[in-house]
Structure 1
Amino acid sequence: MNWSVEDRNRRMQSLFYLLGVAVFFIGFLRFMPFLLFIGLFFIVLGYTSEKYMLYLTRHLMLINKKTDTRLSIGENGELTLMFTNTSRLPFFSIQGELEIDAIAEFRESTHEHPQSCTFTFSIPAGKTISITCPITAISRGTARIRSFQLTCEDPLHICRVLLRPNELIRNRLIIYPKPLPVANVSQLRPRHPGFDPAAHALFHDDTAPSGTRDYLTSDPFRYIHWKASARSGRLQTKVFEKVAHLSWCFVFLTDPGNTANRTTDDFEKRISATAYMTKFSCQNQISYSIYCNNKPMGKKIITELEEGHGTAQLRKAWEFLAFMQKWQIKAPVDQSMRAIDQVLSRPQTLFIMDWDRLSENSPYLLKWLNFGHVVFFLHIEGDALFFSTVPASGGEMSV
């Protein structure tokens, strides 16, 4: 990385030049070789210190690779910077100072503001060193190094320069949301036929028997297991593998002109509830996707996380939630719903995590219900979070 020299402190260097010239001139007038040598020595020191600092700015490099530090709220971690010395001379007395966004704090900061940190290091010739700054995650979001500077001095502290990077430092801090439990999530049942095993599904696979049980009068006659019945001496019915289409979809639809009606705490709770739901989905092998109307760059109306499952999907989902900010909501709700409707190709379970002005966009809701989607709405009452569902016949009932 190239540096921009913001400031050069040459007071001490100027003093060495002035003193050297004065002593050299006195020695020249009085024919004193010793004073000539001393004056010339001061002049050379001042000149050498300046060349040393110029040499340092050319050979001291910050390895500016894209590095992400991932933490959860309240978790401790480290922000790492790597410097390399490409010269044959060691560099001493380098002091760094950096500042990050307010979602994290430096644990060992001596500044008035805990988002600022200073460190001092020296680097041998031809070596690479790592500087670690201990941090603590405070709130959900992403943070970058907003300001960074190095104050460098020569070994004799004659000359000093202030260096700032010419490009954005690519180190990034990602703080995941804190999951908040949602009531009765375990009672939600898959309501669409499919091929994924499900312990509480309403459907089963006729081609995948998993055992037998005693025959009931309500059991179809074709499900009787004749060999098992002959062995046990009483009628046995086949038990089949329960299957369903396990796919959840989490939707955020916030009206750009209605953001003042929801507090930041309310939005954070909805983010935390989604984090809990995605974690629950990961533990139960349920695939899911996320849609939000914070318009990304380009022609897309919505920001989306494509359907997936497992720990890799959970990591993507929490990063997706970490980047979501209410001030980024720009896409109109009706356009966003139209875009979401185009990608919902099969019936799914939809969780509306945030939706402003619901009544104005009910036609899309009715379309989703008629298509076969099961729609749940997240409600917040104090510290309690729970879902309610809208049946296709209309009205609203609690889960």
Structure 2
Amino acid sequence: MMNWIRYEHGFKAIYNGMLLTLTLFLLCAVFGLSTLAACFASVFAMLAFQNYYFSKIGEGLTVRFKAKQKRILIGHDEELIMEFENGRVPIWNGTLVLSMEDSVAPKNLLMKNFSGIYDIYIPFAIGRHETTEIRIPLEGKKRGKSRITRVLLEIPHMFGDGSVNMELKDVVSYKSIVYPRITKLGRELTPSPFKPGEFQQRQSLFVDPFQPIGTRDYMPNDRFDQIHWSASARMQKLQTKEFQPISAQMIVLMMNALEKDRGYHDFEAKIERLVAYADYCTKNEIPYAVAINLRTLGGRPYLFIPSGSGKLHFQEVMEMMAQISDRYAKMPFEEMMKHMESSGQLSPTIILISHVQERFQRIVHQWERRYTVTVDTSFERDENGWEKPELKMTGTDSVIPSA
């Protein structure tokens, strides 16, 4: 049984009309005016029926949403399906009003909204003990969550002015989550040469002892346990094992949400750039973590998603990116950088999605001695306009591009 809040308008006029027609009917009956008495009796019966009908309307009316949550991308479609089941009293000539947040909107809707809420008006009628289904095609408009904030049923009086409005009191569990737009990264990420890992690389300080790739002539600085004795016996001279060069390719994506001279569109562009990195890492099976300087409750004062890989990790990132807002409280970006360094959360490869600022360049220069660091400002330009940074003398791309 669902709970509805009833708002009744125009019933005072009905009561006054019933009283007036009843009085006139009695007067006509007393003076023997049978024709007028019959007319007033008909009007009285009509008003009495309307009063009784609208006092019982909506009893036993229930609504069920076929899905509790849907996930879509910007520009993609979904369908809101509602199933109504009525009680004993039919409903005629009603109007269903749905109010929903504007991350999604009715498909092909030309109207604009300025309050963050769309109001959708749907003609509504249902018979006695009848079940009917309403389908509304929706389209993802922007990143975020969209909930149904109000379900209202307006039923106008059949005779005269007035209506009965029924507002659903129960909380609607249905919501849509619109993921950020996924774009191509426009570049390739190379493994960091500073730490050992599991990714193959032509030039690295580290090798994988479990992946021999051949032999070479012995050199005086080679270790004794690296000598290949069988090959040495065949070649009649000492041979040393050669192994596959490897390096680490774990990545941490750090986004600066605190840009006082920037606005909503700048925040959205950074989100899309971060998602492009996450999509690239997922497709190439590269573990990655995400850090954004938005205030959160708990031991860590900023938003942080631990390192992971695969589709489940990507979905977790997309869920979080769909729910955050630029209105959240923020902390200075350099404070988050220092906290991540002190807590050991840095990865061999660090991507900073931020405008270039003097406040944290000193920290970046310190990190470049131990990590591969890139400050990505490509969101300032076209999404395919990535400019490959020049290589430093170390052979890495750990350089800050000019703004």
Given the two structures, how large is their TM-score scaled by the length of structure 1?
Answer: 0.76
Contact preservation (8 Å) 1:379, 1:387: no
The one of 42, 45, 51 aligned to 2:46: 42
Residue identity (%): 16
Amino acid at match of 1:96: L
Amino acid corresponding to residue 379 of structure 1 in structure 2:
T
With 27-36 and 175-184 compared, the bigger mean Cα shift is at: 27-36
Q: Counterpart in 1 of 2:153? A: 150
Partner of 2:260: 259
- 1:106 is matched by which residue type in structure 2? P
**Mapped pair 1:311 → 2:311:** yes
Distance in 2 of aligned mates of 1:397 and 1:319: 30
Q: Residue 379 of structure 1 aligns with which residue?
A: 377
1:25 is matched with 26
Alpha-carbon distance in structure 2 between the residues aligned to 1:342 and 1:360: 18
Structure-to-structure mapping, 1:103-182, within 5 angstroms: 103-109=103-109, 115-123=118-126, 129-146=132-149, 148-153=151-156, 160-166=163-169, 169-182=172-185
How far apart, in 1, do the equivalents of 2:122 and 2:100 lie?
15
SS in 1 for 2:164: strand
Correspondence for 1:70? 71
2:179 is the alignment partner of 1:189: no
Relative to structure 1, is the Cα distance of residues 63 and 378 closer, same or farther in structure 2, using a 3 angstrom cutoff?
same
| Deviation at residue 73 of structure 1 after TM alignment | 2.0
Segments of 5+ residues of structure 2 without an aligned counterpart are: none
Distance in 2, matches of 1:234 and 1:22, equals: 127
The structure-2 alpha-carbon separation of the partners of 1:4 and 1:338, relative to structure 1 and needing over 3 Å to count, comes to: farther
**Inter-CA distance 195–93: structure 2 relative to 1 (3 Å threshold):** farther
Whole-Å separation in 2 of the counterparts to 1:24 and 1:64: 50
State whether residues 24 and 39 of structure 1, in contact with CA within 8 Å, keep that contact through their aligned partners in structure 2: no
Amino acid at match of 1:45: F
Letter in 1 for 2:50: G
Q: Which runs of 5+ in 1 are unaligned?
A: none
- Kindly state the Cα deviation for residue 285 of structure 1 after the two structures are TM-superposed: 0.9
Q: Equivalents in 2 of 1:124, 1:341: separation in Å?
A: 66
How far 1:172 moved relative to its partner? Answer: 2.6
Alignment-derived partner of residue 359 in structure 2: 360
Match of 2:56 in 1: 52
* CA distance, structure 1, for counterparts of residue 122 and residue 359 of structure 2: 55
Whether the 8 Å contact between 1:49 and 1:159 is mirrored in structure 2 is no
* TM-score, with structure 2 as normaliser: 0.75
Contact conserved, 2:375 with 2:401, CA < 8 A, in 1?
no
Checking the alignment, whether the CA contact within 8 Å between 1:111 and 1:117 is kept in structure 2 is no
Choose from 243, 246, 251 the match for 1:248: 251
TM-fit CA distance, 1:287: 1.5
Contact (CA 8 Å) 1:301, 1:339: kept in 2 or not?
Answer: no
The residue aligned with 1:344 is 344
8 A Cα contact 1:83 1:130, kept in partner: yes
The corresponding residue for 2:279 is 279
1:119 maps to amino acid: I
Q: Distance in 1 between matches of 2:229 and 2:141?
A: 61
Shift of the alpha carbon at 1:76? Answer: 2.1
Normalized per residue, the structure richer in helix is: 1
**Range moving further from structure 2, 359-368 or 300-309:** 359-368
For residues 108 and 163 of structure 1, the distance between their equivalents in structure 2, rounded to whole angstroms, comes to 28
> Alpha-carbon deviation of 1:38?
3.8
Post-superposition CA distance 1:71-90 (Å, at most 9, x none): 222222223445444x3444
Structure (1/2) with the larger strand percentage = 1
Q: 1:237 to 1:77 in 2, by over 3 A?
A: farther
The amino acid of 1:348's aligned partner reads: P
Evaluate the alpha carbon distance shift between residue 296 and residue 328 of structure 1 in structure 2; reply closer, same or farther with a 3 A threshold.
Answer: same
User: 1:106, 1:116 within 8 Å by CA — same for their partners in 2?
Assistant: no
Q: Which amino acid aligns with 1:118?
A: Y
Displacement of 1:69 after TM fit? 2.8
Please give the alpha-carbon distance, in whole angstroms, between the structure 1 residues aligned to 2:299 and 2:64. Answer: 34
